[in-house]
Amino acid sequence: MTEVMLTDLTKNFPSGARPSVDRLNLTFTSGKIHALLGPSGCGKTTTMKMIAGILQPSAGEITFDGASVLRVRAERRGAVMVFQNHLLFPYMSVGDNVGFALKMRNESRVVIRARVEEMLELVKLPGLADRRPKQLSGGQQQRVALARALIVKPNVLLLDEPLSNLDAHLREDMRELILGIQRQLGITTVFVTHDQEEAVVMADQIALMFDGVLHQNAAPDQFYDCPASERVARFFGNINVLPGTYAGGLFTSARGAFHAPRAAITEGPGSLTIRPEAIRLGRASAETRAANQMDGYVLSHIYKGTHARYKIAAGDLVLEVVTAPEATQLHGDGDTVRLTLPPEKLWVMPRPA
């Protein structure tokens, strides 16, 4: 129920050459789940720490529901954070770790004990309350850290790779736990994950950063359908990018011209992109290519049971195409093929000069 807004947020570390976070403008909508994505070292943790209030921004503003929190101490902000490296209190039992936040609110011992048991149950660690953190496995520690944060009902929940050490099953359970609590209480949640798929599945909105700079902040499918730049497209696993120029709905490239009604620019140099699933693969024929078609030959392909994945060379470009598994009976490595790129699936992005 808290809207977190970052305005020109910047962090320079004394020893860092570049700002670790560079004029970040970003709004985390109240009650939604946001993913913070980006390659290692792009500034995700730094951003979160500034929101939590344990790192002082070098410049910029952070507001919660419109009010600046720069002068509000971390413990008053109501932003709970799960740290990437767990950071359990080593001198406390697991139970005391989980119950820490309640104790800080002077809850009664009985209440704390009951809630702790409940939380440990939820993170599938019942009965470990008396252990010391050191006596837990890596994944168990991570879940304790999660339980410690989830036990309170914060305004803002900041999760820094909270599930990175868990196997698929636990991961799914924990995701559901987080989602459940988030939905029930409408907590504004920001989480970092290195797993795009997780981000896509869990988040209402994804913010993608590179080198401290925000590149796109949008709903998950937007990153596939209309990535903001080639770099964004590639980060989301799409290598199908053609350089060219755009004008009047027509994209002209070394591989031919394409009708592309959807574009982030009106004209000028641009990059054309399309999802691998959207490209249709056909036999190359003597017929002249229709609009939005191009020829290439199969570099390699993999059969994946549920689908097939082709790498197609077209001039100096390599495109990826995903087809139904049956396609493998038609096209083998080295075959010349014709690709059809449906106009409504195309997207033109700006291209830096």
Partner 1 sequence: MTTAQFLTKPIASSRSGLTLMGLLRGAALVLLALWLVGPFIPMLVWSFAHRWTFPDLLPKQWSLEAWTYVADPAAQVLPAILDSLLIAVPVTLLSAAIAIPAGRALGLHRFRGKRIVEFLILAPNIIPGLTVALGIQIVFINYGLDNTIVGVILVHLVASMSYAVLVMAGVFSNYDPEAEEVARTLGANRFQTFLHVTFPAILPGLVVASLFAFLISWDQYVTTIIIAGGFVKTLSILVVAAAGGGERAITAALSIVFVGPAILFLIIASKYLTGENSSAGGLGRR
Partner 2 sequence: MQFERLKIWLMLAPALLVLFAVFIGGLGFGIARSLNYMPIIGLTQPNFDAYIGLFSLTEFWRSLGMTLYIALTSTAISMVLAIGAALLLRRAFPSKRLMTFLFSFNLPIPHIVGAIGIMFLFAQSGFMARIAHGFGWIERPMDFLVLVNDPYAIGIILEYVWKEVPFIGIVVLAVLQSIGDDYEAVSQTLGAGPLQRFRFVILPLITPATLSVSVLVLAFTFGEFLIPYLLGQTYPATLPVLAVRLFTDPDLNKRPEAMAMSILIAVIAALMVLAYMWLSRRIVRSD
Residues that bind partner 2 (CB under 8 A): 49, 52-54, 56, 73-75, 78-81, 83, 87, 89, 91-92, 96, 100-101, 103-105, 134, 148-149, 152, 158
Does 169 participate in binding partner 1 (rule CB under 8 A)?
no
Q: Which residue is nearest to ligand ATP (CB)?
A: 139
Which listed residue (11, 148, 301, 345) binds partner 1 by CB under 8 A? 148
Q: How far is the CB of 259 from partner 1 (least distance, A)?
A: 52
β-strand partners of 159: 82, 191
Which listed residue (92, 250, 299, 317) binds partner 1 by CB under 8 A? 92
Q: How far is the CB of 46 from Mg ion (least distance, A)?
A: 8
Distances in whole angstroms, Cα of residue 321 to Cα of each of 55, 100, 119, 228, 259: 45, 51, 45, 21, 19
**Binding to Mg ion, residues 136-155 (CB under 5 A):** 137-138
109, 115 Cβ separation under 8 angstroms: no
Between residues 40 and 288, which has the closer beta carbon with respect to ligand ATP? 40
How far apart CA 166 and CA 164 sit, in angstroms, is 6
327 — phi, psi (to 5°)?
A: -55, -30
How far apart CA 21 and CA 33 sit, in angstroms, is 21
Q: How many CA atoms lie within 13 A of 218 on its CB side?
A: 12
**Binding to partner 1, residues 31-50 (CB under 8 A):** 49
Between residues 103 and 194, which has the closer beta carbon with respect to partner 1? 103
**Binding to ligand ATP, residues 246-275 (CB under 6 A):** none
Does 26 participate in binding ligand ATP (rule CB under 6 A)?
no
190 — phi, psi (to 5°)?
A: -125, 125
Q: How far is the CB of 213 from ligand ATP (least distance, A)?
A: 12
Between residues 49 and 331, which has the closer beta carbon with respect to partner 1? 49
85 — phi, psi (to 5°)?
A: -100, 35
Does 15 participate in binding ligand ATP (rule CB under 6 A)?
yes
* Host H or E run for residue 26: strand 21-28
Nearest Cα neighbor of 9 from 54, 65, 47 is: 47
217, 208 Cβ separation under 8 angstroms: yes
* Host H or E run for residue 306: none
Does 322 participate in binding partner 1 (rule CB under 8 A)?
no
* Host H or E run for residue 184: helix 168-185
Does 258 participate in binding partner 1 (rule CB under 8 A)?
no
Does 138 participate in binding ligand ATP (rule CB under 6 A)?
yes
Does 21 participate in binding partner 1 (rule CB under 8 A)?
no
Residues 6+ apart with CB under 8 A from 145: 82, 83, 86, 87, 88, 162
In the complex, the residues that contact its own copies under the rule CB under 8 A are 13, 15-16, 37-41, 44-46, 84-86, 131, 135-140, 142-143, 160-161, 164-171, 194-196, 235, 237, 275, 277, 304-307, 322-326
